[in-house]
Structure 1
């Protein structure tokens, strides 16, 4: 059986794989190589002093994984109620090597190859911190490609790292 990590990032024919997901009535996407894991919505701990953009922390194999409320972080309003049963956490590599963060989304829809000519770049000034890097022209409508390294601004990243250290210390108290 082939190791999925051993697959080339760009398949033959100039296609790239994207994970497509629903978020506040929009389709968004992440490059396949940015995605480490998909989780059904588990129980999260969320101390009351957390910012609204932080959905909480998940104990992922003894690691405190911060989960960002992507809908709130991107300023998207709810268009329809979301069934918690269908919500997912997409675990991505964060801006620092070896660190991970979860992105809470309404629902993961598909993982598919997209031809290079269907990917149109988006200028960095068209989104906050340049987090939307491209738009995919899909048959069912456009999907906005996000860059996980640009979802948080530097100040938010520093605060998240501090909160994650505190959550990890709290988790260690219970496992010691």
Structure 2
């Protein structure tokens, strides 16, 4: 089920703010309410045997924050050169129940209001797990609106929670 915050914001009247970002040569977006903060790309801790979709962990105020390689997770294989200096981590809520997740993107572009008339719903069957909920019509071209609660499959969520617990325990060893 979609997070209550993501779908209604995308398709109801008035204007809603969206964070627009670049990913593998495409424009994507998240509802502003699902974004907690933006981080420049720090050094990530990536223990061996991590799945390719997990870019690593970052110590965010003593918390092990998992960072997902969104490009890889969504199967976007278009290779567009990306300057590492401009990559960002979007700290998103509603991706895992009760916790935060970092989403590694090529570059955050803008935070802007979008009128409901510029938002076309996308049928759930048109994307894996229905993670693309709408297409935003922007002056520079379309942006795919993602539902953060649908980015991960249930099995991926369970595995990520397990890996995050292990990373948190490892971090706790150093602070004890």
Normalised to the residue count of structure 1, the TM-score between the two structures is 0.91
- Runs of 4+ aligned residues of structure 1 deviating over 4 Å after TM superposition are none
- For residues 111-168 of structure 1, the C-alpha deviation after alignment (integer angstroms, 9 at most, x for no partner) is 0000110000000000000000000000100000000000000000000000000000
- Structural mapping, 1:1-176, within 5 Å: 14-176=14-176
Unaligned runs of 5+ in 2: 1-8
Separation in structure 2 between the aligned mates of residue 85 and residue 164 of structure 1, nearest angstrom: 26
Count of aligned residue pairs for this structure pair: 166
RMSD of the TM alignment (CA)?
Answer: 1.4
Separation in structure 2 between the aligned mates of residue 140 and residue 31 of structure 1, nearest angstrom: 19
Q: The residue matched to 2:135 in structure 1 has which SS?
A: strand
Separation in structure 1 between the aligned mates of residue 49 and residue 78 of structure 2, nearest angstrom: 23
Q: The residue matched to 2:49 in structure 1 has which SS?
A: coil
Normalised to the residue count of structure 2, the TM-score between the two structures is 0.91
Separation in structure 2 between the aligned mates of residue 78 and residue 127 of structure 1, nearest angstrom: 17
Separation in structure 1 between the aligned mates of residue 54 and residue 17 of structure 2, nearest angstrom: 28
Separation in structure 1 between the aligned mates of residue 109 and residue 95 of structure 2, nearest angstrom: 25
Query: In the TM superposition, what is the alpha-carbon distance from 1:97 to its structure 2 partner?
Result: 4.4
Q: The residue matched to 1:80 in structure 2 has which SS?
A: coil
**Which protein, 1 or 2, shows the higher relative CO under an 8 Å CA cutoff with sep ≥ 6?**
2
Q: The residue matched to 1:52 in structure 2 has which SS?
A: coil
- For residues 23-56 of structure 1, the C-alpha deviation after alignment (integer angstroms, 9 at most, x for no partner) is 0000000000000000000010001110000000
